[in-house]
Amino acid sequence: MKVRDRWDRWEEIGAAAVFVVFDDPDLIRRTMLTDLDVGALPFDVLVDRSRGTYTRWGLTRASWSTIWLDPNVYKTYARLLRSGARLRSAGTDVLQLGGDFVLGPDGRVVLSRPQQRDDRPPVGELLRAARGSVEGGG
């Protein structure tokens, strides 16, 4: 959770982060949040079981072949395992794509990055967009 690791920078600019997930909260605790003190997270984790938020934000599902026939997926897993990372259990729908969005103080979208697969933007890019929306007056 790279956002959590740089939380001080989010607080400096008065920004907040919200993570939206669609799986059962117990599954999220056992997988995505397993090594974290959930009570100490500086951001909210919201559960959207119906995926209405995903639909409104244009977040689609990948095709099976896009995920599992891409050699880069296996290269990424191999690199993670070599670095000592522990692979976590998958959620209930590994084809559901996520995204990263930054909203300005007025609610306007200042950064929109629907995910293609494992292409999360660097936290610095999200911070720059957030800082720009605050300094630019929204």
Domains in the chain, ordered, with CATH? 2-61+89-135 (3.40.30.10)
Give per-10-residue mean pLDDT for the chain (138 aa). 71 79 82 69 83 88 85 85 78 81 80 71 83 73
The pLDDT of residue 36 is 67
Question: Quick one: tokens of 120?
Answer: 């999360």
| Nearest-angstrom CA–CA distance, 94 and 63 | 10
Rounded to a whole number of angstroms, the distance between the first and last alpha carbons of the chain is 26
The pLDDT of residue 82 is 92
| 64-76 burial code (b ≥16 CB/10 A, e <16) | eeeeeeeeeeeee
